Amino acid sequence: MRTEKQQAFIENYVRTGHATKSAILSGYSEKGAAERGHKLKNQFAGEIAEETRKSIVDAIPGALSQLKDLAYNAESESVRLQAVKDILDRAGLKPVDRIEQTHIEAVPTKELERELEALLSEEIPEVIGTIN
């Protein structure tokens, strides 16, 4: 069972991320706030993690709303484009990776034929040896 001060500490820590400041905001004395904040942070680590997760989930609709507003109303075309990309990315629609083409030197046909003949002549004795 948590006290009101402990619950306030958890909520303040989720909001500020600072143990000493959260202890002071929760009503603990400034004199021992650093030590108290450290102990409370460790004591309620699980609850802090859960409240942090809930806080993030609760912020998603607002963040998406801001992204949509940027996509539709930003003055900068690059900001609008980035907002649209972010929305699509979060929806699981990733852009196609760029395929980089490298320059391939043309090799004369005669040279390729010689290489092919050399390769075939190397493989043929091996195949004949396995048949016998």
Q: Binning pLDDT at 50, 70 and 90, where does residue 107 land? A: confident
Q: Which two tokens stand for residue 26?
A: 């929760």
pLDDT at 43: 96
Nearest by Cα to 47 from 11, 16, 18: 11
Domain range 1-43, its CATH number among 3.40.640.10, 1.10.10.1400, 1.10.3210.10, 3.30.360.10? 1.10.10.1400
pLDDT tens digit sequence for 18-61:
999 999 999 999 999 999 999 999 999 999 999 999 999 999 89
CB 16 within 8 A of CB 22: yes
pLDDT top residue among 43 and 124? 43
pLDDT at 125: 54
Q: Is the dihedral of CA 85, 86, 89, 93 positive or negative?
A: negative
pLDDT at 126: 53
Dist. CA 96–CA 115, nearest whole Å:
37
pLDDT of 112 over the 90 cut: no
pLDDT at 124: 56
Domain borders along the chain are: 1-43
pLDDT at 132: 46
pLDDT tens digit sequence for 61-97:
999 999 999 999 999 999 999 999 888 888 888 766 6
pLDDT at 115: 86
Place of tokens 């003055």: 75
